[in-house]
Amino acid sequence: MRTLKFSFFLGLLAFISCSSTDENNINDAIVNIPKTFKVLSLGDSYTIGQSVCNTCRFPEQLKDSLELRFTVQDTIKLKIIAQTGWTTTNLKTAIANENLQNDYDLVTLLIGVNNQYQGKPFSLYETEFPELVEEAITASNGDKNKLIVVSIPDYAFTPFGQNNGNPEITTSEIDSYNTFAENYCNENDITYVYITDITRQGLMDTDLIASDNLHPSELAYTKFVERILPIAIEKIE
């Protein structure tokens, strides 16, 4: 009888061990299923990365940082719709011509500096910025929690900005654009990331300015990503 009980005990242990191993294997398989995350970045020269390398612009740096966060099997696909000189109107037209899919896991929007620089009526931004926000939300399958609006850099704190026009007026007007965008985002529970202060260090730290003496450098974009990344990770996960 004692031998029978001992044999039964060994069998039970073997069954539990096998069951546990099978469950672990299943869990490992589930954990290691490759995933694809889609990121969309909308904007102008600050998004396309004027005067820096293709991998230096902030959307690419953000993509690379996200890839380090996830497993090697996972894929981050990045699409950029941006061009130097684009106003809100230009960006709206470009988005309309893209026939975008509405399955993006993360969308960034940084737009408005050319409205200011080209002297467009502020009312145009007041109308078109909310429209662009809605289009960005549509691209993320209607989920506003997948959107990050990034503040407009201040080019007054560059050699170009100091030598062209009135730097004080430039800063004041960019503040107006950013205040409107931030208030709109706060009122509509949309994530807003402020990076303008980084660019306002450009005259003291010239490493933050690209070789054209106007746009942010790779280092500046790295600092942008340091602020955006933790939020982006939460939104994708």
73-93 pLDDT, tens per residue? Answer: 889 999 999 999 999 999 999
Using CA atoms, how far apart are residues 179 and 187, in angstroms rounded to an integer? 12
Percent of the chain residues past pLDDT 70, beyond the cut: 86
Mean pLDDT throughout 208-237?
97
pLDDT of residue 31: 53
Contacts of 173 (CB under 8 A, 6+ apart): 116
Q: Answer whether residue 16 shows pLDDT above 70.
A: no
Q: Answer whether residue 235 shows pLDDT above 70.
A: yes
Average pLDDT, rounded, for the chain = 90
pLDDT of residue 34: 82
Percent of the chain residues past pLDDT 90, beyond the cut: 82
Mean pLDDT throughout 196-207?
98
- Using the Cα atoms of residue 69, residue 58, residue 158 and residue 181 in order, give the sign of their dihedral: negative
- Residue from 93, 89, 83 nearest 41 by CA: 83
86 secondary structure, DSSP code = -
pLDDT of residue 10: 44
Using CA atoms, how far apart are residues 63 and 229, in angstroms rounded to an integer? 9
pLDDT of residue 147: 98
CA 100 to chain centre: 17
Express each pLDDT in 158-187 by its tens digit: 999 999 999 999 999 999 999 999 999 999
Tokens found for residue 156: 């007054």
Query: ∠ at Cα 127 (216, 176), nearest 5°?
Result: 45
Contact in structure between 110 and 43 (CB atoms under 8 Å): yes
Contact in structure between 92 and 135 (CB atoms under 8 Å): yes
